[in-house]
Chain A
Amino acid sequence: MTKKWTRYRKRTFYAFIGPWAIGFVLLTAAPMVYGFLVSLTNFDGSSSRWKWVGFSNYAELFGDGEAWTALLRTLGLTALLVPLSVAGSLGLAVIINRRLRAVGLWRTVFFLPSVVPVVAMAIMWKLVFNKDAGIVNAILGVASIKPIAWLVDPTAFYALVVLMLWGVGGGMVIMLAALQGVPIELEEAAVVDGANKWTVFRNVTLPMISPVVFFAVITGVIGVLQVFIQPLLLTNAAGTAGIGQVPTSNRLYMVQVYQEFFLNNRFGYGSAMLWVFFVIILGLTIVLLRSSRSWVYYEVDTEAEGAAQ
């Protein structure tokens, strides 16, 4: 490949990526800087009589027990939901990867819920978990178990977990592609060497697909940390008016932020909460990326990157 000769002028590149670059500056960077500035004020969202308060919002947040509890709850949900959904999507993929009859139908069935809009999802699960008329209590009633009010404390948390796991089929598709990318020769060689099914899966298949598992963990963590609309929509209130009615067991960090913004009109304090959360998420991501070196196996194909230049 000739190096010096170029096909296009440099400014053509900048013109093509311009929409993204401008968008990044105006719609990502600027709001974040603006949010930081707001976090240094006592702005209430509308009145013009706000003033700079320095870092006092951050100082207050540091001593805000409710915010810390909500943060711990969010981390707990993440620690529960991410392993469950990664294992769940991998499990579904393993099932679909077998020589089933009507495999296309089952794949569709498992995959379908993941594309259902969150509003419809919440309405469905509210009906399923309804205390008096829900199917869950109807089934439990057959075993003469008294109706359970699922959507209030303390069980609301589990209803949320079930709702979130319902969309696990989206991850299944990624895992399935990864499983089908594992060269069958490797697995066969292990079988010839006398390994049983589980050993093959644990020591051959899993390491081969570990980059995809890692990707699922990272996106899963970032996804679960920002959950807040599901707890909101699972309340009985109409629309975002439910913010004050979210049961304690579902008061996640972002629910708390949303409440500071739109119930308490504390835009400054809410913005400070957002920035602290951003730093926490960034830290978690870095820790995960570092940890990946010890358990993610990458095949040597870095030259593919160079060829794409």
Chain B
Amino acid sequence: MTTITREPLTETVRPERPSAPRRRKRPRVGTYVLILALTVFFIGPFLWLLLAALKTPQEWSSLPISILPKVPQWDNFVHAVSDMNFVGYAGNSLFLATMYSILITFSSAAVGFGFARLRAPGKGALFLILLSTMMIPQILTLLPTYVLFSQLGLVNTYWPWVFWGLASSPYMVFLFRQFFSSIPRELEDAAIIDGAGWGRIFFRIFLPLSRPVLITAFILSFTFSWGDYIAPSLFLDLDHTTLSVAITVWYQDPHNNVIPTVQAAAAVLYVIPVLLIFLFAQRYFVRSSVGSGIKG
């Protein structure tokens, strides 16, 4: 084969990055037209939401359809925040997401460490179980969990989120396990010779090293919990629920019809935190998606 050898082929490992800048022709105009069309598809709904949030209800529903509001109705945002206890619901969302994410990040790190660096009989089988639980659709366990928890009086409390957090997530365990497996043994051996126990080794060596994975796991679970609709709609009543449920239920006119413009404003406020996290931490989202796909 006509490979251009960079270095003597002593390693079997493939180069991590695509070899240097790829020698490809610059794409033609057609590609950019396609990209533009795709951009309209992906960004259009955001813009339409924003425009709806700035119209009066009459403007929104009157024919012919007007694209731009005559006067931007910032008042819709005031209504979105004051027509229901927006701050309270946002607080619930924030509290649940933060608590859940901290718990699940650390429990997954611990379990990942166990599977990566420790040994005991049954480890292989347990890891296989862990991998296969990733295949169980969540909703199949969620409904029976709801029935069970309602019998135990755990509905309308935040305890389910504590339990889910403590129980770790198979997927994140897998991420941590991959990361911890790649840390050289010498580091651990040196610490053991210095007299460190597993606690010190885990907390002082492995956890600090895994900072990028910790951030990935935290961001991922935080945005998941913030965006989750099913669990809060099942487990929490309207007094305890999160923003995601609240914005679908409130904002009704006297005839029990949802006021689309105010709901749109609320939805804008609701997605902004997620979009900000995404824009500032995109590489962590990439890492989390990619980490799941490559090594199976």
Contacts and interface: CB of A to CB of B under 8 A. Distances in A.
Partners in one complex: yes
Interface of A: 6-8, 10-17, 19-24, 26-28, 30-32, 34-35, 38, 43, 45, 92, 95, 98-100, 106, 108-113, 115-120, 123-128, 130, 132-135, 137-138, 141, 166, 169-171, 173-174, 177-178, 180-181, 183-185, 188-189, 192, 211-212, 215-216, 218, 222, 225-226, 228-229, 233, 236, 238-240, 254, 257, 261, 267, 270-271, 274, 277-278, 281, 285, 301, 304, 308-309
Interface size band for B: 35 or more
B195 to A, nearest CB: 13
A107 B277 CA distance: 16
Nearest to A162: B41
Contacts of A226: 137-140
Given A7-B117, A24-B133, 11 more contacts: A8-B118, A13-B118, A13-B120, A17-B111, A27-B164, A98-B24, A116-B227, A123-B248, A215-B293, A239-B245, A308-B116
Interface of A is mostly: helix
Given A118-B227, A174-B293, A274-B144, A24 B129 contact: yes
Contacts of B117: 7
Nearest to A175: B293
A170 B282 CA distance: 11
Interface of B: 1-4, 12, 14-15, 17-19, 22, 24-27, 31-32, 34-35, 38-39, 41-46, 48-49, 52, 60-65, 67, 107, 110-111, 113-121, 123, 126, 129-130, 133, 135-141, 143-145, 147-148, 150, 163-164, 166-168, 170, 173, 181, 188-189, 192, 198, 202, 223, 226-230, 233, 244-245, 247-250, 252, 256-258, 260, 263-264, 267, 270-271, 274-275, 278-279, 282, 285-286, 289-290, 292-296
Contacts of A23: 107, 163-164, 166-168
Contacts of A218: 135
A28 B275 CA distance: 32
10 contacts: A23-B163, A28-B133, A113-B45, A117-B227, A119-B227, A127-B264, A174-B289, A226-B139, A233-B248, A257-B143
